[in-house]
């Protein structure tokens, strides 16, 4: 017994020696202590809002921080210059493999658009971007006009009501119309369950991964993971049923939506064809689920800040009235005239990007970053939130000030630092269409309505709820028709 104990101690000491020797062999980034098996997890357990935690950790370790998630190597990167360099670095364009990713991808590593890599990712992204662009500005405007009419009819004028999630169904309808030329009604029980489950899925997750990702054997005891897995399965079934319905009416000579075009590609049956049934489900899943939630959350934040800053809301409405009058609805071409409105949207995006931590990247080969050695397969977590708060580029970043996005002539000026949708190869495929959607909804809503706090109500908090993406905490306001 003593002999076995002695060998165990020697093995442990040998492990520590070899690990320390490896650490000194290369110039690894500074970071948390790396404990056997657990890695740095004991130091990360309370970091629900990871972007705020990274800001604090950077004061001690610097802006490039080494971390170990169990036995998996990781890297936190913060600060505008560092994050932009990492986003553009070719060696950081991979996606990590994890238990959650394989669960959502039918046991495979690379399916869909957001979490895949390699040839499948390349062909899936090109296909998705092509379909989103094909939808076009005119169809976007027409669809939004119809959604706004239905939304307006559902709003109780002058009554205190829940604001968070106000646009959720409209956003889902927009993306699902692109996918399948269909929309859901407000009283559809299935879509109500999906919206609730989707929000829970994103709020219960964390960019640094789950217990099941670090220790797969514990997946059955991780309630949060089991809840997310249940939502994945339900969404996959929902998407599969809708695909089968679309297949039954498919006209290969006249495909009209994303599912149609993908089914046509599958039917070609070409060798090395990256188009598969599972791939279609995951592209729909990515757009339907991961695409809709951040856009809906962005609307919530814009509405929140207009309640908190009524003078900004009033100034934006005055601009909308001056440009549009009361005779027509906003159009995408009005972006070039509604400069203050664009500045308001950009400032809310700066202060509360709905994805403050980018979808995890992976180092594809041994490399150096900022003179630090980074090993192959290291998971790279990029602090996009820091792009909008780096004092090197922003004066008084904690102050809400839309005017920072206006030039001397009062024209909207885009920042060359702020990239909430990412940049480079891994930038969001739906960036343009999401920005168009946000603009049309904001301009149309505030052309028709004013938001205000209920009488004697405390101001809602700007502190966000954590998750894969963040969202504002639930709040109520009064929506009043302007005319």
pLDDT at residue 14 is higher than 60: no
Q: What is the pLDDT of residues 267-279, one digit of tens each?
A: 887 655 788 899 9
- In the predicted structure, residue 455 carries a pLDDT above the cut 70: yes
- E-assigned strand segments in 30-186: 64-69, 72-77, 159-162
Tell me: do 260 and 279 sit in the same domain: yes
| pLDDT score for 17 | 44
Q: Residue 190's pLDDT is what? A: 77
pLDDT of residue 10 exceeding 70: no
Strand-pair category, 476-481 with 449-452: antiparallel
The verdict on 336 and 379 lying in the same domain is: no
Determine the angle formed by the axes of helices 339-351 and 310-324, rounding to 10 degrees: 150
Q: Which two tokens stand for residue 440?
A: 């049309």
Verify that 210 and 150 share a domain, yes or no: yes
Would you say 428 is a known binding-site residue?
Answer: yes
pLDDT at 29: 96
| pLDDT beyond 90 at 97 | no
Widest CA span of the chain, in angstroms?
89
With beta carbons less than 8 A apart as the criterion, state whether 405 and 415 touch. yes
Angle, CA of 68, 70 and 74, to the nearest 5°: 30
Whichever domain contains 50, its CATH number is 3.30.43.20
Say if residue 241 is in the same domain as residue 373.
Answer: no
Whole-number percent of the chain with pLDDT over 90? 49
Same domain, 282 and 148: yes
How far is 272 from 39, CA to CA, in rounded Å? 40
Same domain, 303 and 360: no
CB atoms near residue 130 (< 10 Å): 12
Distances (CA, A) of 302 to 15, 159, 375, 428, 457: 52, 20, 40, 20, 19
Q: What is the pLDDT of residue 288?
A: 78
Query: Of the candidates 94, 96, 83, 90, which has an alpha carbon nearest to the alpha carbon of residue 419?
Result: 83
Q: Are residues 65 and 126 in the same domain?
A: no
Euclidean distance between CA atoms 45 and 263, whole angstroms? 44
Q: What are residue 115's phi and psi, to 5 degrees?
A: -110, 10
Residue ending a domain, choose from 388, 409, 435:
388
Helical axes 277-285 vs 118-154, angle rounded to 10°: 40
Q: Which of 347, 370, 388 is the last residue of a domain?
A: 388
Which residue carries 């995951």 as its tokens?
Answer: 282
Domain that includes residue 370, residue range:
1-92+356-388
On average, the pLDDT of the chain sits at: 87
Q: State the residue for tokens 């309640």.
A: 307
Stretch among 50-54, 238-242, 312-316, 478-482 having the lowest mean pLDDT: 238-242
Clarify whether residues 366 and 477 are in a common domain.
no
Lowest pLDDT segment from 42-56, 185-199, 203-217, 331-345: 203-217
Number of structural domains (the chain) is: 2
Instruction: Enter the tokens of residue 429.
Output: 């495929």
pLDDT band at 21 (very low <50, low <70, confident <90, very high): very low
Mean pLDDT confidence for 373-402: 97
Q: CA-to-CA distance for 132 and 128, rounded, in angstroms?
A: 6
Q: With the C-alpha atoms ordered 462, 464, 465, 471, is the resulting torsion angle positive or negative?
A: positive
Beta bridge partners of 2: none
Name the domain boundary from 347, 369, 388: 388
CATH code (residue 394): 1.10.630.10
Which region among 113-117, 365-369, 396-400 has the lowest average model confidence (pLDDT)?
Answer: 113-117
For residues 86 and 392, is the Cβ–Cβ distance under 8 A?
A: no
3-state secondary structure at position 380: strand
Q: Which ranges of 155-257 does DSSP label H, i.e. alpha helix?
A: 168-180, 189-204, 211-214, 223-248
| Same domain, yes or no: 255 and 321 | yes
What number is the average pLDDT over the span 183-211?
A: 77
pLDDT score at 247: 93
Q: Clarify whether residues 301 and 443 are in a common domain.
A: yes
Q: Which of 194-203, 230-239, 290-299, 473-482 has the highest mean pLDDT?
A: 473-482
Alpha-carbon distance of 290 to 376, in angstroms, equals 27
Q: Are residues 78 and 199 in the same domain?
A: no
Please tell me whether residues 228 and 294 are part of one structural domain.
Answer: yes
Instruction: Return d(Cα 451, Cα 24) in angstroms, integer.
Output: 58
In this predicted structure, what is the pLDDT of residue 228?
78
């Amino acid at each position: 017994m003593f002999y076995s104990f002695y060998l165990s101690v020697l093995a442990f000491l040998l492990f520590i020696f070899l690990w320390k020797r490896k650490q000194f062999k290369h110039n690894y980034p500074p970071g948390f202590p790396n404990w056997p098996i657990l890695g740095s997890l004991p130091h990360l357990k309370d970091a629900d809002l990871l972007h705020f935690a990274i800001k604090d950790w950077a004061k001690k370790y610097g802006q490039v921080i080494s971390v170990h998630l169990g036995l998996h190597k990781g890297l936190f990167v913060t600060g505008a210059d560092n994050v932009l360099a990492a986003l553009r670095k070719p060696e950081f364009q991979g996606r990590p493999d994890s238990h959650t990713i394989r669960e959502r991808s039918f046991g495979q590593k690379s399916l869909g658009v957001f979490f895949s890599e390699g040839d499948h990712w390349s062909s899936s992204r090109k296909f998705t971007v092509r379909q989103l662009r094909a939808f076009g500005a005119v169809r976007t405007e027409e669809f939004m006009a119809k959604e706004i009419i239905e939304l307006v009819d559902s709003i109780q004028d002058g009554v205190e009501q829940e604001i968070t999630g106000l646009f959720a169904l409209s956003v889902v309808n927009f993306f699902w119309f692109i996918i399948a030329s269909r929309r859901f009604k407000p009283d559809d029980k299935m879509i109500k369950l999906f919206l609730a489950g989707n929000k829970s899925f994103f709020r219960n997750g964390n960019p640094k991964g789950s217990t099941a990702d670090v220790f797969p054997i514990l997946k059955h005891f991780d309630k949060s993971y089991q809840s997310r897995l249940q939502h994945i399965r339900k969404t996959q079934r929902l998407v599969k049923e809708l695909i089968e319905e679309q297949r039954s009416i498919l006209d290969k000579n006249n495909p009209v939506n994303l599912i149609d075009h993908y089914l046509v590609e599958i039917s070609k049956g070409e060798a090395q064809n990256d188009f598969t049934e599972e791939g279609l489900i995951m592209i729909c899943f990515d757009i339907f689920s991961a695409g809709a939630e951040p856009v809906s959350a962005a609307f919530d934040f814009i509405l929140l800040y207009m309640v908190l800053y009524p003078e900004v809301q009033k100034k934006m409405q005055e601009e909308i009235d001056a440009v549009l009058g009361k005779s027509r609805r906003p159009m995408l071409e009005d972006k070039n005239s509604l400069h203050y409105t664009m500045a308001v949207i950009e400032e809310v995006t700066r202060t509360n990007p709905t994805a403050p931590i980018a979808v995890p990247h992976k180092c594809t080969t041994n490399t150096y970053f900022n003179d630090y050695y980074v090993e192959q397969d290291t998971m790279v977590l990029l602090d996009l939130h820091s792009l909008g708060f780096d004092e090197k580029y922003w004066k008084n970043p904690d102050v809400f000030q839309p005017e920072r996005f206006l030039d001397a002539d009062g024209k909207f000026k885009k920042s060359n630092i702020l990239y909430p949708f990412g940049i480079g190869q891994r930038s969001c495929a739906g960036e343009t269409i999401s920005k168009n959607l946000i603009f049309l909804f904001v301009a149309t809503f505030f052309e028709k309505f004013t938001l205000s706090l209920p009488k004697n109500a405390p101001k809602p908090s700007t502190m966000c709820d954590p998750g894969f993406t963040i969202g504002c905490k639930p709040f109520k306001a009064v929506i009043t028709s302007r005319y």
